[in-house]
Structure 1
């Protein structure tokens, strides 16, 4: 009996787990194929462009996730700003970063400077979408556009920093503390 075909979303999430841990340069096709539960030939069939196409797919998935789960919620003015903030922080903490267990794919793929040209625009696009959404939220809290943008950047910096410190210390507490402190940032 043939094994069940992995759904595209599950496939990308599994491939992202390798890229998050190893980065672009550190990820081998064997590791990616193992994560995808495919042999290398099947992996190439799904991603003829190899590792670059896999990383592009991971970044596209991330952009879509940020747009659907951060941007769309934070710009919904029919929901109170505090409620939007708490909901998005819960989703970011629990779903995107697994309470600090998962490193950010944007960070992992931006660490390889030699590939800035390959991924720079997609990374910037995801981060800009994130910042734009938090800027709208900040303005809904009564901040000027400039203040809201500065605070939006700080949200991104604090979350990324919390992930790095949690990873470095081997403790989820720093990331969890950042998420909690951001609830009172506005």
Structure 2
């Protein structure tokens, strides 16, 4: 068997960039092929179900990263709650490249994407809320307060990405992360 010329992580990273920039409907196979460095035939060899399977691979790629880097930090009982908060905020900054990258939930939740991936998007958002709620509980918040803050964190992160992009002002994303920290931290 011949060695792969393009590694899976490179493909997933390239697919992520295309889907973040174009969404499911807007991403053409030509753009995907150009970004990955693969010919269309090679893309279909790796992803026989086409663009839907490529988008699912992007979800898996991001989900795995988020599970390890963000959720793992939020629930890491070997760290103090402040350390968990700081580590997760730093990893959120990395995930969204300090606010320059769109969220995959947003870009894949247009009409067709939502029809195809709606339950996956809902589950992903529920996971963000659950893990932030665990952090709130670690800070001694009541269950109701922890859930309310967790939902607000998701709204704030998603909203700040859209507003930062629309106004071309990354400080909005940065300020939002500071607001999230202030919900928990007594620093």
Q: Shorter-chain TM-score: which interval?
A: over 0.9
Separation in 2, partners of 1:82, 1:73? 11
Aligned pair 1:58/2:45, yes or no?
no
For structure 1, which runs of at least 5 residues remain unmatched after alignment?
A: none
Mapped pair 1:161 → 2:140: no
For residue 152 of structure 1, report the CA deviation from its aligned partner: 0.6
Q: In the alignment, does 2:99 pair up with 1:100?
A: yes
In 1, the alpha carbon distance for the partners of 2:85 and 2:22 equals 31
Judge conservation of contact 1:59–1:106 (CA < 8 Å) in 2: no
Query: Counterpart of 2:183 in 1: which secondary structure?
Result: coil
Distance 1:119 1:48 in 2: 18
Q: Is the 8 A contact 2:20 2:103 kept in 1?
A: yes
1:71 is displaced (CA, Å) by 1.5
Superposed, 1:1-186 pairs within 5 Å as 5-93=5-93, 95-110=94-109, 112-186=110-184
Answer whether contact 1:62 1:126 (CA < 8 A) is retained: no
Can you list the C-alpha shifts for 1:32-90, whole angstroms capped at 9, x where unaligned?
Answer: 11110111111111111111001111111122222111222211122111110011001
- Contact 1:59 1:123 (C-alpha < 8 Å) held by counterparts: no
Q: What TM-score, normalized by structure 1, do the two folds share? A: 0.93
Structure 2: which 5+ residue stretches go unaligned? none
3-state SS in 2 of match to 1:148: helix
Query: SS state of the match for residue 184, structure 1?
Result: helix
Q: C-alpha separation between the residues in 1 aligned to 2:48 and 2:120? A: 20
CA contact (8 A) 1:67 1:129 kept: no
Count of matched residue pairs: 183
TM-score when normalising by structure 2: 0.92
The alpha-carbon deviation at position 166 of structure 1 amounts to 0.9
8 A Cα contact 2:25 2:113, kept in partner: no
Give the conservation status (yes or no) of the 8 Å contact 1:139–1:145.
Answer: yes
